[in-house]
Chain A
Amino acid sequence: MLNLVALILLFPLIGSAMNGLFGRRLRKESIGYIACGAIGLSFFISVLVFIGLLLLPPEERIFEKHLFSWIQSGSFNAAVGFQVDPLSSLMILIVTGVGFLIHIYSMGYMHDDKGYHRYFSYLNLFTFSMLLLVLSNNFLLMFVGWEAVGLCSYLLIGFWFEKKSASDAAKKAFVVNRVGDFGFALGIMLIFLTFHSIDFTEVFNAASHGEFAIGNITITLITLLLFMGAAGKSAQIPLYTWLPDAMEGPTPVSALIHAATMVTAGVYMIARCNVLYMLSPFTMTVVASIGATTALFAASIGLMQNDIKRVLAYSTISQLGYMFLACGVGAFTAGIFHLMTHAFFKALLFLGSGSVIHALSGEQDMRKMGGLKNHIPITYKTFLIGTVAIAGIPPFAGFFSKDEILLEAFVRGNVIYWSIGAFAAFLTAFYMFRLLFMTFHGESRVDPHVKEHLHESPRNMTIPLIILAGLSIIGGFWGLPGASALNHFLSPVFGGHGHNEMHGVEAGAHHGIGLPSLMMVVSTLIAIGGIWLAYQMYVKKQELPKKLAERFALPYRILYNKYYVDEIYDAIFVNPVKKISVQLWKKVDAMMIDGSVNGVARFVTGTSNIFRFLQTGYVRNYAFYIVVGCIFILILTTWLNK
């Protein structure tokens, strides 16, 4: 079984290498088949591994395979080794499964791009890196995957590098992620210093065996540093700004990397380190607060965006916030559950938006859409399912996972978390239906030229949409409240804590049997409220948004400009650093340091020039100096003898 795991990683790597090295000489079909075939095989093996795991009794569902020692120096030892357990097996299933669908979709979407082989090479490399991230059995190898997905993200955001905006966005994504990685790297070092190991098993064993009291300051520091990395990769406040810009990449990339898989790596990391996080209530509070704040903050920005992909990007940030909220209150299962359902419906929404963009020959501005539902019916229907799922209407996938997070936030956290989450859910329902109405309903605002070419996407694009729509409908049943198969499956990883049957529902029972059911009703009502409002504003009284914008000009402008965060960051960090650097170069380096170096040189030449005049070459001058010298010495000695 473990040897199979190596194959999961190997196929995408080979696919990437083949397309990267020889893609230029291959036909487009071959390129696509190689890439999809590689991921397809990986997916197939992942399913086998998953089934193999299910067949075992729960306590035996963990395997480790040590391949070789990677960096070893003194007692520092980082291995290349893999770990298969319920959590990682679930992750590889999502990564290869959703990844496979997106690869197929890409064959259609990218068909006319001249960088076709480059695209698939990167996409396979990304899948490899992401699998490495989730399969590694130690922190440093995880960090390798972590950075490698960052690299692929960089390459794919900047895929159309001729565009300045795209290459800017790629750079921004990498650099902002590096800020997070700075924390992650320090976290790993502190882990090594504290535990003398960076292996998951050893670290978590040591941590869970009571060597550290709850609230231990070192553990708090470690978890905060790791969370810094997570906040970078998963686009949480204050490091979220790269994700909206990342939409410069091709849309399937946004679906795969910036919605379904890579951005959830932070959630995965925290869930993986749940043992450590449970030891630090302070960090947990930080995680939950940042998660909740981000959920609300990003949702509010999503209200006013007009670019279809940007709305989805802010929505992703907001949904990731929910996942962190769940982790922060200790409901790791709920976080992972939402990660999974989100992978389905957000991938669906992105691919759907890609299909819209494809139909409109590249148009992304929703103000130039409208009334598309009859032109691209499959896209519309699947998109509708995705929208309903994210809005949280039962029995779609998003409902169960979001509802569970809200319930947990209420039971384990407090009313504030719950109300923030609930309000963000209301906003989510609103902006998603706003998007749906603006795009597919109402009058067509499509440019007449574009309108002539309106067409439904080819089959290799619509079939992934249909499959994902199916998953968005049924994906939630795996985590039905009270009878959650997912809870049961993940319990070996999350032990006593991420288990809501033990804490959540029990505590729920304490509040009265009806709490979970009551919560469900409330959640549903909130979602319906959001949808109703969107319907009022964007279908019935379409003049309303404009009026409101005029009435509340200031809040509108702030939201429309995304709270000016990018501008603030530029003013506080980017520009001062540039200015200081120029000063350092021109003033400190050139004038002060080099100036003094050259000053010494000038001084030496200058004084030598003076003394040079003494060396005239005339004997009479030298004789004169001798006489003067003698007299001087005579005077000096007589004066001294006195």
Chain B
Amino acid sequence: MNLPILTLITFLPIVGVILILSIDSRHKELIRVTSLLVSIVVFLISLPLYFIFDTNTYDMQFVEKLRWIPSFGISYHLGIDGISLFLVLLTTFITPITILASWHVERNVKEYMIAMLVLETGMVGVFVSLDVFLFYVFWELMLIPMYLIIGIWGGQRRIYAAVKFFIYTMAGSVFMLLAIIGLFFLNYRATGEYTFNLLEFYRMDISYAVQFWLFLAFFMAFAIKVPMFPLHTWLPDAHVEAPTAGSVILAGVLLKMGTYGFVRFCLPLFPEASHAFIPVISWMAIVGIIYGALVAMVQEDLKKLVAYSSVSHLGFVMMGIFAFNIQGIEGGITQMINHGLSTGALFLIVGMLYERRHTRLISDYGGLTKQIPVFATLFMIVTFSSIGLPGLNGFVGEFLILVGMFKSRILYASIATSGIILAAVYMLWMFQRVMFQNITHEENKTLKDVSKRELAVMIPILLVIFWIGIYPNAFLRKMDSSVKHLLEQVERKVLVTPNIQKQDNPDLHDNSIPKIDIVPEKETEW
């Protein structure tokens, strides 16, 4: 592997930015086409990652490592494993789609497209960085274009939403920065070496007390990003005010940075603290699942409804990660992708409606199926994907998560499972009010069905929705080695360190529950 694929996909968008800078801002169509082409090329270059990816090793692959600031041991260190692979692909897949979906943006097209491409660099960078300093740089980098996208091309309360988004995330990031510096010095004290290499950090043995505080600091950053209840209130505002593409990227990729962070940092670096936090995080996740669903149910604004449904969905992801077994984590990762696709698609759908009618209020619609049947079909498939209908993507992730959680904590899983009922309630009720019954507003009688461009936006997502639903093993097998390794890492550390109570540990490992009759053994968990 001599070709630096990861560098290419990370920085090619920046090359695109330079290209666009050289185009006069009056040539809107040219700018759009250029940025679309760039993002498609990035996607095409990223595809081989999937095919060449070696499923037999848990080591980082496609690694590139260059010295950057040697005096602090900072290096340009990239690489992916089975966990980040799909998040990278998701990012490169979603970006061209959102660019195509932004064709109608007329104001400051040049700046808009530049922001989108810079955003892509930031997002990919976060997922491929193995140097923690570099990670942090990308983490902050991606905030800025997103802030601009909401703040400039957003809706009426865009400034409020953008500032809220920015400050909220920054507040979390500050804690993370402190923790990163802490890790740096801890490692220095242990090894006498300056480094920000994440893989080196993994080798550290950190005492439980220190783990606790560092975990908490990372937790703040990631939990806000996920967002976990009760740190979620920036999300509905950001979603509602963001332009369609902003919402899609926000839901599709940005939220995944939080959950990814837990998998990449919290679990392997602070395994005991993570264990200790299982009840807290699980309850936050459970509350998020049910609370998000209930609040979503009564929303009057389509975008808000989808935003609150994200809180519910991401609750499932967190639950899977903190199940601490292979089904839970693989389900969690799958669900990250699923949520990116389904919720991204929902925002695209809402965006299409908004472009036609310039309203997001559910009560302004009704009976659209008759007028725009093709749109209705697309919408329905996406709706059922979000509900978690078997055969579509959502089910696979949700079910694995619940199986994983069920193995470790039956009660939690049982409560969370009720979320599948509520999901059906809020999604179908919304669908009914928007698409069924008679048309009550005159304006809706002249709506146009989906255009070819809109089909081109939706079809790729739908194909993947079916693909994951029907043959998820194509995805799950690529994760196996990395997830197993992650669990081994966690388990090893927890086992050697004495200061953690063993009975508080659910089965870390897949094969660690040989008992047939689980009920007596688990009685304390009920």
Contacts and interface: CB of A to CB of B under 8 A. Distances in A.
Contacts of B511: 75
B46 to A, nearest CB: 25
A73 B476 contact: yes
B291 A144 contact: no
Contacts of A186: 406, 413-414, 417
B403 interface: yes
Nearest to B509: A74
B214 to A, nearest CB: 24
B229 to A, nearest CB: 9
A193 B518 contact: yes
B204 to A, nearest CB: 28
Interface string A166-204: 011011001100110110011001101111000000000
Nearest to A579: B298
A584 B519 contact: no
Interface in A579-617: 580-582, 584-585, 588-589, 593-594, 597, 601
B352 interface: no
A186 B276 CA distance: 26
A76 interface: yes
B43 interface: no
B337 to A, nearest CB: 14
A211 B400 CA distance: 27
Contact of B230 (A167, A170, A195, A593): A593
Interface stretch (A4-12, A156-164, A270-278, A445-453): A156-164
Interface in A36-85: 68-76
B425 interface: yes
Contacts of B473: 69-72
Most buried by B among A190, A193, A195, A580: A193
Contacts of B390: 140, 143-144, 147-148
B400 A76 contact: yes
A628 interface: no
A518 interface: no
Interface residues of A, number: 58
Nearest to B426: A581
B516 A185 contact: no
Nearest to B423: A178
Contact of B403 (A144, A182, A189, A577): A189
Given A148-B390, A162-B367, A194-B516, A582 B331 contact: no
Contact of B233 (A163, A182, A589): A589
A588 B229 CA distance: 11
Given A72-B476, A151-B389, A601-B167, A218 B519 contact: yes
A216 interface: yes
Nearest to B229: A593
B436 interface: yes
Nearest to B406: A189
Given A167-B437, A174-B428, A76 B384 contact: no
A161 B436 contact: yes
B319 to A, nearest CB: 13
Given A577-B294, A601-B167, A167 B432 contact: yes
Contacts of A578: 297-298
B298 A581 contact: yes
Interface SS, A side: helix
Most buried by B among A144, A211, A212: A144
A474 interface: no
B331 A73 contact: yes
B369 interface: yes
Interface in B208-258: 230, 232-234
Contact of A589 (B295, B399, B425, B513): B295
A174 B298 CA distance: 19
Contacts of B167: 601
A76 B399 CA distance: 11
Contacts of A167: 432, 436-437
A634 interface: no
A189 B413 contact: yes
Interface string A465-500: 000000000000000000000000000000000000
Contacts of B476: 71-73
Nearest to A114: B370
B327 interface: yes
Interface in B396-433: 396, 399-400, 402-403, 406-407, 413-414, 417-418, 420-421, 424-425, 428-429, 432
- Which 5 pairs across A and B sit closest by C-beta, in order of nearness? A74-B326, A167-B436, A74-B510, A144-B390, A161-B436
10 contacts: A73-B403, A76-B403, A148-B389, A161-B369, A162-B438, A189-B413, A190-B406, A577-B294, A578-B298, A581-B298
Given A73-B330, A73-B403, 17 more contacts: A70-B470, A74-B327, A74-B330, A75-B510, A76-B400, A144-B390, A162-B437, A167-B437, A174-B428, A175-B424, A178-B421, A182-B421, A211-B516, A212-B517, A578-B297, A584-B295, A597-B164
